[in-house]
A and B are shown apart, each in its own frame.
Chain A
Amino acid sequence: MLSYNSLRIVRPFRALLHPNWLMTNRQTLTCSAHCVSNNFPKKDTWQRQNNLKPTGNERKLQYSTYAASSPRNYCTGQFNLNCWNCKQPLDQTPAFFCMTCKAVQPPEEDTSLFNIMDCDYKFSMDTRKLQKRYLHLQRSLHPDNFSQKSVQEQEYSESYSALVNKAYHTLLKPLSRGLYMLELKGMVIEEGTDSGADPEFLMELMEINEALDEVKTPEEANKIGQHTKGKLAVLTEEIDAALLKGELQSAKALLAQMKYFANIEEKVKEKLSEFM
């Protein structure tokens, strides 16, 4: 269980080149900071001890011994570590409801969608488990459950429910899941331009599209659908492998290909519905 109330950073000081120095004069830099909240009126202390004696002629480093202790206010970026209603600390993350007063909490910023849906952060996904989790969450978070509650709670349930929706739909499909994983790593696929697409691939797509356009029976459309599904399955495996190895560029290129085939799959569906 992760405690947010105290944050301790321990950094071993890395000495430079001299081997003797490494052995004898290794210091630690310790700072401890405490979040200030209504229920914890502790003073913050920040101590730093730095005793470094330069050896020999190598480098003349000047360090002064410095110990300071003064009260400091230290705020973390997360304001909702405590319940907005009863002020008790929220024990879990993501916290949907307060353990103490049972009030619904607002969603925390930048919570990973994987965290919300309690799924491992990887490309292969158990969609049944995902769906179960989705239904379980919505059963308690859906705004319909809060029609008699305060406006604040209604707002929070609305935003959380919408976020859970988004998480579910993003993680459900391999394409959006993969794109989201890239996004988490800071990589975005720009809208529109795919100047990197190789002409042979584009030709292949053109032919599939043309064939789809000219189908006269649902069976023909289905054949193309099956072919596309096959391609998508292969791509899914490749993307899984690439993401596991951390090869983001190739994952990105494969996801771009997947986008095209996903579009074709959509068109197949449309075509089939035309026949009905």
Chain B
Amino acid sequence: MKLQIEVDDHGTIVDARFKTFGCGSAIASSSLATEWVKGKSVDEALTIKNTDIAKELCLPPVKLHCSMLAEDAIKAALADYRRKQQDDQQEAVRASV
């Protein structure tokens, strides 16, 4: 499952794309995740829970882990964004010195 987010300067997610190889539930979970994060701020997106995804898609019990994967993907994307923000800030500090 691959999830990409595009965040503007205000910290709002303006676009999201996914690429998933796997079962239908996994593809659906990641697709729904991209729909939900669009328009949300970075902090709001962090509140998305796998249980919400599973409920929305009516996932059967054996496929619940797919929604977990989607939640993990969102969190990983946001963590990566945070990391890059910090790197940029450090860059800026170094540049101004």
Contact = CB atoms under 8 A, between A and B. Distances in A.
Interface of A: 191-193, 205-206, 209-210, 213
13 contacts: A191-B62, A192-B62, A192-B63, A192-B64, A192-B65, A192-B66, A193-B65, A205-B21, A206-B2, A206-B21, A209-B21, A210-B19, A213-B21
Interface in B1-55: 2, 19, 21
Interface of B is mostly: helix
A274 B2 CA distance: 25
A21 B97 CA distance: 89
Contacts of B2: 206
A212 to B, nearest CB: 9
Contacts of A209: 21
A33 B63 CA distance: 50
Nearest to A205: B21
Contacts of A192: 62-66
Contacts of A210: 19
A208 to B, nearest CB: 9
Contacts of B62: 191-192
B62 to A, nearest CB: 5
Nearest to A195: B65
Interface in B44-89: 62-66
A266 to B, nearest CB: 12
